[in-house]
Amino acid sequence: MKTPAKKKAAKRIAGKRHAAKANAQVEAVLAGYPNPVKSRLLALRRLIFDTADTTDGVGALEEALKWGQPSYLTSESGSGSTIRIDQVKAEAGRYAIYFHCQTDLVATFRELYPELRYGGNRSILLDAGEKLPEKPLRHCIGLALTYHARKRERGK
């Protein structure tokens, strides 16, 4: 049985123009994170759904678990590269947004936003004690959600 908070979250997500319904497995994984990382991951999740909702050509996101991490796929449109979110296990209070390491996404993000912290060629590292850098993250998420669509356009 869904708690009132889960019902409200599912309704909020499902009410979006493009967003997918909340995934029960993802909800369970997110519920298991320690605070304040959990609240930051939930904010990042909302930002991913909001960005998908306001980015042309993305369509509905599929929320799933990949490698045990909440993941966001553009299965409907095929427009983008998978985005994953998770806490950084080796560093308490740190979390990250992960991108496919065989893309040039993180290299592009480094050029655009040198002020962000990065984990190699696969992630943007964030600290739960700091405010979410919403504007640059929204742009990076939008670029990831349209990665394949942009590649197709360049190939024409």
- As a whole number of angstroms, the distance between CA 53 and CA 31 comes to 24
Confidence band (pLDDT; 50, 70, 90) for 20? low
**How many domains in the chain?**
1
**Cis peptide leading into 136, omega within 30 of 0?**
no
Whole-number pLDDT of residue 155 = 73
Answer whether residue 121 shows pLDDT above 50.
yes
Kindly tell me if the per-residue pLDDT of 4 is higher than 60: no
Q: What is the pTM of this model?
A: 0.85
Mean per-residue pLDDT over the chain, rounded: 87
The larger pLDDT score, comparing residue 153 to residue 92, is at 92
The domain that holds 34 is classified in CATH as 3.90.1150.200
Domain housing 17: 4-155
Whole-number Å distance between alpha carbons of 19 and 46? 10
Reading across the β-sheet that carries 83-87, which strands appear in turn? 62-66, 69-73, 83-87, 94-99, 123-127, 117-119
Query: Does pLDDT of 37 surpass 70?
Result: yes
| Average pLDDT score over residue span 75-98 | 94
pLDDT in tens, 91-111: 889 999 999 999 999 999 999
Cα–Cα distance for residue pair 44/110, rounded to 1 Å: 19
- DSSP character string of 21-62: PPPHHHHHHHHTSPTTHHHHHHHHHHHHHHHHHHSTT--PPE
